[in-house]
Amino acid sequence: MSIWFLFNFILLVWAVWNVAAGFSSNTPYLHILLGFTGFLLFLFNWTRNAVFSTIRNIGDRQKKIRLAQFSKRIRPYHRYVGTGALIIILLHGFLVIDHYTFDLSNMKILTGSIAAFNLLCLVLSGWYRLLIDPRLKIRKLHIGLGISMFVLIIIHFIF
């Protein structure tokens, strides 16, 4: 298995812990649920990276075939899940700004704004690659934006 499965699992557990801790100490807010839902959609799409990494690194041909068939079934939904994640995260951001005001000196809002912009670029690069230019250069950009999104989510959770 790929190390990305472990990273994804750790981040998922951390997110569930943060949301549960937030709900135990505060009134459940819609913006928290939207942020968590958007995160789950991103993580669903990002797990494909772990699947592809596993396919490249394992020697068992039957496992490679099973994982490739699984990924092929998920592929048609990948772009719509990513677009849905973007829409939900933008709603999350609007509700946060409505509730707390837009203040870039607040690290949570700053990191969330950077992550939202990165997610916008990630989704646009995915659609661009599908509809206009499927070159390797765009694919590498898309994967790089996905990795940076993963890191930005971690930073957003820290603050």
pLDDT in tens, 93-106: 999 999 999 999 99
What is the spatial distance between Cα 134 and Cα 120, in angstroms, rounded to a whole number?
18
> Please, are residues 55 and 9 in contact by the beta-carbon 8 Å criterion?
no
The total of structural domains in the chain comes to 1
Question: Residue 77 is encoded by which pair of tokens?
Answer: 């939904």
pLDDT < 70: residue spans in the chain: 26-28
d(CA 88, CA 86): 6
Q: How far apart are CA 55 and CA 2, in angstroms?
A: 9
Residue type, 145: L
Amino acid at 38: G
Domain interval for residue 97:
3-158
Torsion of CA 129, 135, 139, 140, to 10 degrees: -140
Residue 28, pLDDT score: 67
Q: What is the CATH number of the domain that holds 100?
A: 1.20.120.1770
Give pLDDT, residue 23: 78
147-155: long-range contacts at Cβ-Cβ below 8 A with a sequence spacing of 24 or more?
A: 148/118, 149/42, 149/46, 149/115, 149/118, 149/119, 149/122, 150/7, 150/11, 150/46, 152/111, 152/114, 152/115, 152/118, 153/11, 153/39, 153/42, 153/115, 154/11, 155/111, 155/115
